Structure 1
Amino acid sequence: MPQSVDARAEKKPSRIQLRNRRKILEAALDVFSQHGFRGATLDQIAEAAGLSKPNMLYYFDNKEAIHVELLSALMAEWLAPLEVMDPDGEPLEELLGYIRRKMQMSRTYPRESRLFANEIIQGAPRIGPDLNQRLKPLFDEKCALIRIWMQAGKLTPMDPGHLIFSIWAITQHYADFEAQVQVLMPDSAVAWDTAMQHVETMFRTLLSAE
């Protein structure tokens, strides 16, 4: 019996198709993180991916479709370190663990961090719904948890929301301003080791209730 249109549409992509999609997204990540959404072009992405522009448009309808797919995957990665903060854990260590994870993400995924920063600076035109539907509930949940810990005397009292903002600002600085950090501290291995120690010591001192 011939396959229905729906069955054909649901056919899994081939290995070549999956490989080409990965190449496009990897190339787009480089281009978007360097030039932002407005400055990036399909020609730049196609050249970086080693594909013709018509071939690339077989996989994605336009530049925005590529950007949205990258941002959607990035949002899941960005939320994960906050999601694993354990309400039953030791409060100071849970927050310091979150800070370590954020620092490691900045070290491992600087392009992704810059992609996200560029989107937010532009007013979040493509990721706005994700901020409202995915980030905001998680942010509120973790702020409530941190407030409980503070009220129990386990952390220094302060505004939980602004504490999280401060963690983001400091940890993501090392990714978003990577070029500046590399000029000022050329030995990147030493710079990262001292950064990890400095940031942890700073927040441990700030948050310790004793």
Structure 2
Amino acid sequence: MPRSRPKTRIQQKNSEAILEAALEVFSQAGFRGATLDQIAERAGLSKPNLLYYFPSKEAIHAELIRGLLKVWLDPLRELDAAGDPMDEILDYVRRKLELSRDFPRESRLFANEILQGAPRVQGPLHDELKPLVDDKAALIASWIAQGRLAPVDPHHLIFSIWATTQHYADFDVQVRAVLGPGHDPYAEADSFLMTLFRNSLTPRGANAPRDA
């Protein structure tokens, strides 16, 4: 089977422009509301030219989701069994918050897909996300069994980390409206979440006087 020829510089540039434009359109309008015409216009290309690179809106969306899942799941993959449990969890929280800060459109793209019932990501959710979460939940459970973390449900701990970090991307306008000017939501969230999860996960009595 002949190998596909590598993209030329201009082909690579146009592919990246299409994906960047599509990310903006999808994150604002959702999959259903987005059109190829909108994506082509934002990318500065004609619709026929866009279709030379991607045969459909579905193909563009699938490419974005594949890239997003890799970026989104890498911090969880890096949870290290050899590390200190508290440090590993807090580092994961911080990295997820940084992803929300640095990639808010990607977060909203994924949230929109999930809110629609995840019709285009069922495969990755079951084949990639679930085994990874189950594996890391088992690691957290082992740390809890060793008395190195407070007893919590590992899966719901991970869900809580997702909820508290991705909120700042998905509800950015609301967060900034409530906090008002002069606030750095992410710096303040970092300080708060480090305290929240450290206090929740510290084994009882580890850093506090024992009850009389």
Cα distance in structure 1, aligned partners of 2:66 and 2:130: 15
Higher share in helix: 1
Aligned to 2:117: 123
Aligned to 1:176: 170
Once the two structures are TM-superposed, the CA of residue 124 in structure 1 deviates from its matched residue by 1.1
Cα distance in structure 1, aligned partners of 2:156 and 2:182: 29
Give the counterpart of 2:14 among 20, 23, 26.
20
What is the identity, as a one-letter code, of the residue corresponding to 1:144?
A
Conserved? CA contact 1:174–1:181, under 8 Å = yes
Aligned to 2:46: 52
TM-score (norm 2): 0.93
Once the two structures are TM-superposed, the CA of residue 194 in structure 1 deviates from its matched residue by 0.8
Aligned pair in 2 of structure 1 residues 188, 35: CA closer, same or farther (>3 Å)? farther
Cα distance in structure 2, aligned partners of 1:140 and 1:13: 38
Aligned to 1:77: 71
Once the two structures are TM-superposed, the CA of residue 190 in structure 1 deviates from its matched residue by 2.1
The CA RMSD over aligned residues, in Å, is 1.2
TM-score (norm 1): 0.94
Aligned to 1:43: 37
Partner SS, residue 184 of structure 2:
helix
Equivalent residue runs for 1:92-131 within 5 Å: 92-131=86-125
Which contiguous aligned blocks of 4+ residues in structure 1 show a shift greater than 6 angstroms?
none
Aligned to 1:3: none
What is the identity, as a one-letter code, of the residue corresponding to 1:160?
P
Q: Give the number of equivalent residue pairs.
A: 204
Once the two structures are TM-superposed, the CA of residue 82 in structure 1 deviates from its matched residue by 0.2
Conserved? CA contact 1:182–1:188, under 8 Å = no
Once the two structures are TM-superposed, the CA of residue 11 in structure 1 deviates from its matched residue by 1.4
- In structure 1, list runs of 5 or more residues that go unmatched: 1-5
Aligned to 1:155: 149
